[in-house]
Amino acid sequence: MSIFDNVEALAERIPNGALVAMPPEYSWVSTAMVRALIARQARDLHLLCVPIGGLAVDMLVGAGCVATLEAAAVSLGEAGLAPRFTDAVQTGAIRMKDSTCPAIHAGLQAGEKGVPFMPLGGLIGSDIEANHPDWTVVDDPLGDGNGPITLIRAIRPDFALFHCPKADREGNVWIGKRRELMTMAHAAKQTVVTVEEVADTDFLADDTLAAGTLPNLYLSGVAEAKGGAWPLALPGCYEADRAEIADYARQAKTPEGFRAYLDRLAAAQHPDAAE
C-alpha cells in the first residue's frame, strides 16, 4: 500500500475525538489539512499545540471541530488576538488546558521514549501546576535533597499533523532543523504530512539530507499540497501572507464574518504561495 494519498483522504483517516498534535506557526503548519478537516466537519478533536497555536488552531475552533485544547498560548501574533479561540474560551465552547512550552515538550519526549513521565522543574507552586491533576509532584526520588519535582505524564497523540517542503519517492520527508517535528512523529501513533513537492530521489541515501529527514517508518500518509501552509509561512520556502492573515483577523471577530471567510476560502483558488 502506497504511503502517498491526497489531502482529503488523509483528513478522512483522522476520526472524531482524536488527540491531534500541531506545530507552532513559526514551524511548519499544514493549513491544507486544517481546511480538509473543516470541510469534512471533523468534531470533538482534542488539539495539542506544540507548544503554541495561531490561525490554523483558531480556524478549527471556529468551525466547531475542537472539544479540548492544550497550549501554552494561542494568538495571531502581530494580527492580534485569535478571535474564535477567545470567544470559545469565554463562552465555554471548548475546554482549555493551560500548559507551558517546557511541559508540552517534556510530555512528548516521554511519549517518544516510551516512558510514563518526564521530570520537570520550575512549575511547582504555579497556577498551571495546581490546575493539572494529571501531573504529580514528588520529592527527589534519588534522595539527593534537590527538593520536589513535577512528573509530566507522557503525551502520545493519536495523530501528528504538519507540512514540509518536500518528500522523496520512498515517502521520507525532509524536516531540516525543525526537530520538534521529529519528536511529534516519534511520540504520535500516526503522522500525516503534506508537502510542497515529491522529489524523485531517496533523501536517506544523501549524507547531506539524511540528518534532516524523517524516515517513512514514522509516517502513515503523505500528500502533495503546493502552498499547503498558506497563508502562513513555510520558512525557507515562502513568507506569510500578512494581508490575508490581517483580513482573517478582521472577519473572524464575529461568527458570521468567520463563516463568510470560510465560504470565500472554499470558493476561491488561493494564489500560488511559492511564487
pLDDT at 146 (0 to 100): 80
The identity of residue 69, as a single letter, is L
Any domain includes 19: yes
pLDDT at 267 (0 to 100): 83
Expressed as residue numbers, the domain containing 28 is: 7-99+156-240
pLDDT in tens, the chain (275 residues): 689 999 999 999 999 999 999 999 999 999 999 999 999 999 999 999 999 999 999 999 999 999 999 999 999 999 999 999 999 999 999 999 999 999 999 999 999 999 999 999 888 888 998 889 999 999 988 888 888 999 999 999 999 999 999 999 999 999 999 999 999 999 999 999 999 999 999 999 999 999 999 999 999 999 999 999 999 999 989 999 999 999 999 999 999 999 999 999 888 754 444 34
Report whether the peptide linkage leading into residue 165 is cis, meaning its omega lies within 30 degrees of zero.
Answer: no
| C-alpha cell at position 75 | 494568538
Any domain includes 223: yes
Any domain includes 124: no
How would you classify residue 178: left for phi > 0, otherwise alpha for psi between -120 and 50, otherwise beta?
beta
pLDDT at 274 (0 to 100): 39
CATH at 74: 3.40.1080.10
* Cβ atoms of 44 and 16 closer than 8 Å: yes
Any domain includes 166: yes
Closest listed residue to residue 194, CA positions, set 273, 252, 87, 129? 273
Any domain includes 129: no
Domains: count for the chain: 1
Any domain includes 104: no
How would you classify residue 64: left for phi > 0, otherwise alpha for psi between -120 and 50, otherwise beta?
left
Any domain includes 215: yes
Any domain includes 148: no
pLDDT at 22 (0 to 100): 98
Closest listed residue to residue 99, CA positions, set 77, 130, 78? 130
Q: pTM of the full predicted structure?
A: 0.94
Cell 549524507 belongs to residue: 207
Q: Based on the number of CB atoms within 10 Å of its own CB, is 257 exposed (0-12), middle (13-18) or buried (19 or more)?
A: middle
